[in-house]
Amino acid sequence: MSKSSIMPGFRPTIGFTLIYLGLVVLIPLSTLVFKSFQLNWDDYVHIITNKRVLSSFRVSFSTSLAAALIAGFFGFIVAWVLVRYSFYGKRFFHALIDLPFALPTAVAGIVLATIFQPSGFLGKLLIDTFGVQVAFKPLGIVMALIFISIPFVVRTVEPVLLEFESSMEEAASSLGATRLQVFGKIIFPNVFPALLTGFALAFARGVGEYGSVIFIAGNIPYVSEIVPLLIVTKLEQYDEVGATAIALTMLVISFVLLLLINLLQLCGCASAQDNSKEVRT
């Protein structure tokens, strides 16, 4: 492998990569696994199948999924607008998009909780007009996660839209396609892999999110308690083993889900990209 590569420095760079993966990713995570070895299987199953734990898993993954889907949809629209149209204050909007990246998530959480709580500005409005309560419900968690994860979608989709060859659109139009057909058959399929990546990032971020969620969620067991909070609670009670068991389970589920998303992406692009390695005639 190192011989066939035209890039010099294969050894040092692969070495660095392995050290990084080892020190920063694998060792901490494997500690988690080793720690859980203190448990026997029955204890592990007992902790995991606890009703409160199970419902927190359900809350965490369902809200993350919902938030990632919504962020995917609206993030795509935001990216589309930022790339396709020029309007007054575009640069300002551009900078605004990244703000959730930089803001301490707890700040975002407190702000969201303040305006969405039943007596808060937006919270009151929503309860009065639609009878919908956002705060202290899974809906509140979804709100917080959308806020946090939209930039991931925008920033992954944007460069792909920017690079998109407008002549492909023109070609489709010249062949008689309507605007809708151009979007559905030409633009969207080309952007979809990036959108899926953005979705996966948003989802992963959502599952791990803690700071912005706990304030607006209200953390009511069986209703709006998320897994990260449960882990922290266990730790505060010096139940390290219990926390580890939950953390490990979450790790495995997240890993499997991300793997599935990656596989999905591979399937989508495989036909186009794998074959391109063939000799050109």
**Contacting positions for another protein (CB under 8 A):** 165, 167-168, 170-178, 181, 185-186, 189-190, 271-273, 275-276, 278, 280-281
CB 266 to another protein: min, Å: 15
133 contacts 191 by C-beta, under 8 angstroms: no
Judged by beta carbon, residue 3 or residue 277, the one nearer another protein is 277
Q: How far apart are CB 176 and another protein at their closest, in Å? A: 5
First to last CA, the chain: 26
CB of 183 to another protein, least distance (A): 12
Q: Least distance (Å) from another protein to the CB of residue 177? A: 4
DSSP code string of 24-69: IIIHHHHHHHHHHTTS-HHHHHHHHT-HHHHHHHHHHHHHHHHHHH
Least distance from C-beta 45 to another protein, angstroms? 46
Cβ proximity to another protein, 52 vs 185, nearer residue = 185
Closest approach of another protein to the CB of residue 160, in Å: 12
Segment holding 149, helix H or strand E:
helix 138-163
Nearer residue to another protein within complex by CB, 17 or 273: 273
Distance, in Å, from the CA atom of 225 to the CA atom of 63, rounded to the nearest integer, reads 11
Taking the least distance from each CB to another protein, the nearer of 131 and 176 is 176
**Which CB sits closer to another protein, 13 or 178?**
178
Helix 138-163 and helix 51-84, axial crossing angle in degrees, nearest 10: 30
Q: How far apart are CA 269 and CA 192, in angstroms?
A: 10
- Considering the complex, state which of residue 98 and residue 163 has its C-beta at the smaller distance from another protein: 163
Identify the H or E element spanning 182: none
Structure token digits, residue 277 = 């390695």
Burial annotation 170-209 (CB, 10 A radius, 16+ → b, else e): eebeeeebeeeebbeebbeeebbbbbbbbbbbbbbbbbeb
